[in-house]
Structure 1
Amino acid sequence: MILLCGGEKDSQDRDIKKAKGYWQAYQEKMSKKLRNHEEVVIEQLRNPEMAKAYLDVALEEYEQDGDLAFFLEALQNVAQARSGITRQNLYRDLSPEGNPELRTISLILHNLGYRLSVQPIQ
């Protein structure tokens, strides 16, 4: 908030216009810097190592609490980031309501450059 006091009427009007201009410029600058969370996640998941780590964490979460929806959402995010497949198509194929088969998950992972593997519990 800017508080303008004193001065002549002409200078007050000029100062108010100047302050409004500064505020508008600030808002435009900040709107270019701010992005929503989903945009940032998708951008980061374009990196294959980041995508792999993200899927690893999602699988670990699934092992701990059995929340398949979380893993499927992570797979959707990686597929969207790395392949450009639309979210609508992925949702249809990977939604918990769609009951995705292991074959579907494996095919999507393969197309992204990953594969399912088995590792000993540590």
Structure 2
Amino acid sequence: MTTEKTLSPPKANTSPYDVADHLRTPEDMAAYLDAWLEDAADDISGIARALGDLARAKGMSQVARDTGLSRESLYRALSENGNPSFGTVLKVARALGLKLRAEAM
């Protein structure tokens, strides 16, 4: 009787992708938010999540200090189910060094 061994492929070391790890410069951050606003302008929760990604990229504790809001309230407001007030959006944008502008369509 012969026994056959099956070889399994080596396990890859992977980690979940986090866009916040790749948003390093103010230009990267502006382009990311601009893309959300351009491509998914009606996706309010998506835009809130995008702001959350940017806040995590800069450091949520720093953004909390700069906005005067608690980290917990920022995480909640900028989560998938978050619904930040316009005032919070403006405070976060300012803390990220971003300026929101209107443009004629």
TM-score, with structure 1 as normaliser: 0.60
CA–CA distance in structure 2, aligned partners of residues 98 and 70 of structure 1:
9
Whether 1:102 aligns to 2:86 is: yes
Whether 1:76 aligns to 2:56 is: no
CA–CA distance in structure 1, aligned partners of residues 16 and 38 of structure 2:
26
Change (3 A) 1:77 1:68: same
Residue of structure 1 in register with 2:67 after alignment: none
Residue of structure 2 in register with 1:58 after alignment: 36
1:41-90 residue CA offsets vs partner (Å, 9 max, x unmatched): 11111232221111001111333xx1101111000001111123498543
Structure 2 gaps of 5+ residues are 65-70
Change (3 A) 1:95 1:43: closer
Q: Which has the higher helix share?
A: 1
Identity %, equivalent residues: 32
One-letter amino acid of the counterpart of residue 35, structure 1:
S
Structure 1 gaps of 5+ residues are 5-18
What does 1:37-56 correspond to in 2, within 5 Å?
A: 37-38=17-18, 41-56=19-34
Q: CA deviation at 1:97?
A: 5.4
Q: Aligned-pair RMSD on alpha carbons? A: 2.9
Residue of structure 1 in register with 2:15 after alignment: 35
User: Which piece of structure 1 moves more, 71-80 or 45-54?
Assistant: 45-54
Change (3 A) 1:88 1:82: same
Tell me which structure has the larger Cα radius of gyration: 1
Residue of structure 2 in register with 1:115 after alignment: 99
The answer to whether the Cα contact below 8 Å between 1:61 and 1:67 also exists between their aligned partners in 2 is no
How many residues are aligned here? 93
